Structure 1
């Protein structure tokens, strides 16, 4: 993909993560990825919906503050800006998804004002639980490549629907539990090969294992895995998977070897675990990560 000048289209939910102590942190997996890409120096256009409310205005202001592309940010006239309630157990998050949020319904014609071509379309699965499928098709027609980041949040998914969304993607990322949910009839050692075949993935399947690291399985039969590095000043794991996905996209853009992508993605995910929540407005945090790759 090296040399692609167009911004990546990052489609899906933007919301506030609401923590038990009352802290509210801006998030949503696709928004986190768009934020990370921008802060790491990559061109990215986030596509998603916010409400015509104080939270929606706050999101636009924060995007403007760091210079993010706001062309794809749709203001819903009736639905509220999204929220997710987070509970933490030993630093690991569980999520309660609030229904009928602004990110659930973005008009398909919203795509018409976006760039005609894009290097890559990234999307998850949560924002596609509702009426966004036609918009996805229009975005997909603009993109040269597609990266699917599976985020299963009960009860907002059906396994067959998720497999259909994965079908034909260049790269799919999911975690160990999600892989087991989508291929429960296959033993763990054969699960990656089964998912590559069932979803007709074109390039690679990434399976993250939380604190145990991650593995990359390619369609030509290659396989790499690595442990997660130690986290200095661990706070929580919110956004670690999104951090990994962000660096995986950069690796695709710049034609890094898969082993390099794996090492750098795990390193950045570990760094994000030192934050509360998934993102930071501290540009030095991202500069340190990018400098380490030089």
Structure 2
């Protein structure tokens, strides 16, 4: 079995919560791509994280956390910037993220910082998330995308607070189309789909991304499961298991992690029914994540998923 390269951001989340009747922030290492890398490792796959980390104590903690989670950090560079903080508040079905730190520590990876041997040896390359709004990492992602010899997976993981008006949204839409055109798998949330393609039903969004060139598209719907659009079949809905959800942080990232881990083990499914089984497993992984607090720290092992939901 080979390894996956996950290119994206790592930062520190400050989660709005309450302790002894007072509002406090709970610190958690986060970033969608970091969650994905940790999730792949927890599910038995090998993962290498590629991104830029701050040169402060928090950046050191992120590097140590990844190493302890058996995620490779040979492609992670340290930059002269404080670690970006994401303040997370909850007022609806989707958490609200506000980002603090200039320049963004996660946005300083450039195309010349890439470890080309690491990329060229990867069986799966993940690109996506908020680094694509930064010129350096976007150029790095484009270079990695062009060099990747294996399977390419993409997740826009949109954060509306980082989009400054319609022009920024249009620009992101163009980037999504660019990466989707060369992707073996695209995963996005229903919230991403609504923001990027307002007024379009999720099945229509999935079909559109396949028309652009994506081989397989998965749109997650929270407790309602996911829409799957695979080659040779119309889009279908895959139900999610019933769970006792307490924290959805990292749930979408865990779906991506499960899909990547299975790609590393078995490659692409040969039939649409095989994709249904893959997505159903990924939704079980996400369900278990929702039953625990935290993002990266909630990523489960395969044994834990089997224990909770059966084989």
TM range, smaller chain: 0.7 to 0.9
Whose helix fraction is larger, Structure 1's or Structure 2's? 2
Q: CA deviation at 1:135?
A: 1.6
Q: CA deviation at 1:190?
A: 2.9
* Structure 2 residue 218 is the aligned partner of structure 1 residue 206: yes
* Structure 2 residue 193 is the aligned partner of structure 1 residue 193: no
* Structure 2 residue 300 is the aligned partner of structure 1 residue 289: no
Equivalent in 277, 280, 294 of residue 277 of structure 1: 294
Q: 2:209 and 2:186 mapped to 1: Cα distance?
A: 10
CA RMSD in angstroms, aligned pairs only: 2.3
Deviations 1:65-91 (A, max 9, x none): 233211112100x22222211111366
Q: CA deviation at 1:189?
A: 4.8
Q: 2:149 and 2:99 mapped to 1: Cα distance?
A: 29
With the length of structure 1 as denominator, give the TM-score of the two structures: 0.88
* Structure 2 residue 88 is the aligned partner of structure 1 residue 71: no
* Structure 2 residue 229 is the aligned partner of structure 1 residue 224: no
Secondary structure, aligned partner of 2:90: strand
Alignment of 1:16-165 (within 5 A): 16-21=12-17, 22-76=25-79, 78-89=80-91, 92-98=94-100, 100-112=103-115, 114-115=117-118, 116-130=120-134, 131-140=136-145, 141-154=147-160, 155-156=162-163, 157-158=168-169, 159-165=173-179
Q: Which stretches in structure 2 are left out of the alignment for 5+ residues?
A: 18-24
Secondary structure, aligned partner of 1:270: helix
Deviations 1:124-165 (A, max 9, x none): 131111121332133220341110012111233522233223
Q: 2:299 and 2:232 mapped to 1: Cα distance?
A: 40
Q: 1:172 and 1:204 mapped to 2: Cα distance?
A: 6
Q: 2:277 and 2:83 mapped to 1: Cα distance?
A: 37
Name whichever of 264-273 and 148-157 sits farther off: 148-157
Conserved? CA contact 2:15–2:87, under 8 Å: yes
Equivalent in 161, 165, 169 of residue 183 of structure 2: 169
Q: 1:43 and 1:73 mapped to 2: Cα distance?
A: 16
With the length of structure 2 as denominator, give the TM-score of the two structures: 0.83
How many residues are matched? Answer: 285
Secondary structure, aligned partner of 1:259: helix
From the superposition, tell whether residues 73 and 212 of structure 1 become closer, same or farther in structure 2 (CA, over 3 Å): same
Q: 1:107 and 1:92 mapped to 2: Cα distance?
A: 31
Deviations 1:165-210 (A, max 9, x none): 322211111122322333336455533222321x321x11111111
Q: 2:310 and 2:28 mapped to 1: Cα distance?
A: 28
Conserved? CA contact 1:72–1:114, under 8 Å: no
Deviations 1:230-255 (A, max 9, x none): 223x2211100001111111233324
